[in-house]
Amino acid sequence: MKVIGELARLPEDIIDLIDHAEAVTRDNTRITVTMALSYGGRAEIIAAMRAIAQQVAEGRLAADAIDEDCLAGHLFTSDIPDPDLLIRTSGELRISNFLLWQCAYSELVFIRTLWPDFSKSDLELAIGEFRSRERRYGASAGSH
């Protein structure tokens, strides 16, 4: 289990529970469940930029060394691969400030089902939609 977000804003007892859950699951290898608490994509990017600016100010990082990898390395998800697929439930047609940087090349599938009712068949539908697409990672059709 991995929890991302501005965890310092959470109550101390919740932070302790998060630390414990991450510690007891640290050696699991089959699946990682990532939970976003007190999370917003814009806030995440700002936090990363502040950390980078601090390193530059302290002389630990050269400004010309700041690139996509540098920024990605300072995000809450620095040790998690970018998602290939984002499934948005509830019929909303937006990503709602969620993983803004990481979803740059994700395939998006929108499902009308509300999250509490999301079922195996909804997941199968989303995966089928994903599998039918040609992944281009930002390139135009025919330019890869």
User: Are the beta carbons of 119 and 87 closer than 8 angstroms?
Assistant: no
Q: What CA–CA distance (Å, rounded) separates 29 from 26? A: 8
> Model pTM?
0.82
Q: What CA–CA distance (Å, rounded) separates 29 from 133? A: 28
Residue bearing tokens 């090349």: 105
The pLDDT, as a whole number, for residue 140 is 73
pLDDT tens per residue, range 40-99: 999 999 999 999 999 999 999 999 999 999 999 999 999 888 999 999 999 999 999 999
Q: Which residues, 6+ apart, have CB-to-CB distance to 114 below 8 Å?
A: 89, 90
Give bridge partners of residue 108 from the DSSP assignment.
Answer: 86
